Amino acid sequence: MPLADFAGEDVLLAWSWNGEPISREHGGPLRVVLPKLYFWKSAKWIKRIEFSALDKPGFWEVRGYHNYGDPWREQRYDDEA
């Protein structure tokens, strides 16, 4: 995703909930929440964050989901997949 979206005011890097670490079932040790994009962009089980000048498709994108995922533009599936 573009850095500007990742750095948005509403983006969360969550490691706890109600004072307790997030359980593995709910995405622990770290979960990214990006409210403005489709929820597959809100990744679970984050072990590292990689910054790159090149755009590389992730887990869902190589399986046919849209590379950006704006719900207001209905960018759910990649038309070319």
What letter does residue 61 receive in the DSSP assignment?
G
Answer yes or no: is 50 within a domain.
Answer: yes
Answer yes or no: is 18 within a domain.
Answer: yes
pLDDT digits (tens, 9 = 90+) for 15-31: 999 999 999 998 889 99
What does the block give as tokens for 74? 């209905």
pLDDT digits (tens, 9 = 90+) for 62-72: 999 888 888 88
Q: Is the pTM value of this prediction over 0.75?
A: no
Q: Could you list the residue range(s) of the whole structural domain that residue 60 is in?
A: 3-73
Number of domains observed in the structure of the chain:
1
Answer yes or no: is 80 within a domain.
Answer: no
Answer yes or no: is 81 within a domain.
Answer: no
In this structure, the number of other CB atoms found within 10 A of the CB of residue 23 comes to 10
Answer yes or no: is 79 within a domain.
Answer: no
Answer yes or no: is 11 within a domain.
Answer: yes
